[in-house]
Amino acid sequence: MEGPRLNGIGMTSARTRERLVQRLQEQGIADQRVLDRIRNVPRHLFMDEALASRAYEDTALPIGFGQTISQPFVVARMTEALLAAGEVLRVLEIGTGCGYQTAVLSPLVKEIYTIERIAPLLGRARRTLRELRIRNVNFRHDDGNIGWAARAPFDGILLTAAPHSVPQALFDQLKLGGRLIAPVGPEGRQELFRYTKGESRIDRQSLGAVSFVPLVSGLQR
């Protein structure tokens, strides 16, 4: 990746990033580790240069293939919810997308196993994360609905696309005491939930209304 991308549009003012962080704090994000990552991850690298000037707005933006880069507040909220109950070592991410959520989470956990069904998006995310020297991420081109059983169990699972209900395979791959963060529901009526796996039941806590692309099956090459 060329040097100018690392220093180009969207990077011109530290104040722009600081305003974003301040906005997230005002909306209730309190984990300083998460706020620092939002401040320091160069979000403009994860989108087309035509949209880079909007990179530090608190909004979702298109990244191609009918997908979006998530709103920074939602990325921060999901990351904070995943980390809230203590140390998380191994995380399964369903929906790599452009890799921005992966980049925010990467130094806060030991290992990330990330699945993306759209091959060109996965390739782009892999290149961007490599340029940022993020090395604790394992990539897989597959259907996120089935998870990654060979690498289970996971301390945490994070979905960046919304199923109508969470696939049972993902709960099966979650460690006892582990947490799964997912937007759930049809478009226009989605809610973000944190699920915690207990001995005999899975507890569910609502984290508020959200809007995500749907979680779909099958591969795209």
Catalytic residue among 70, 106, 165, 206: 70
Contact residues for 124 (Cβ-Cβ < 8 A; gap 6+): 98, 99
Q: Of 119, 110, 63, which Cα lies nearest the Cα of 88?
A: 110
Burial label for 174, CB within 10 Å (0-12, 13-18, 19+), is: buried
Interatomic CA distance for residues 79 and 60, integer angstroms: 16
Tell me if 61 sits within 8 A of 51, measured CB to CB: yes
The residue written with tokens 């806590």 in the block is 205
> Is 217 noted as a catalytic residue in this protein?
no
Q: Of 100, 93, 144, 92, which Cα lies nearest the Cα of 118?
A: 144
Residues annotated catalytic, as ranges: 70
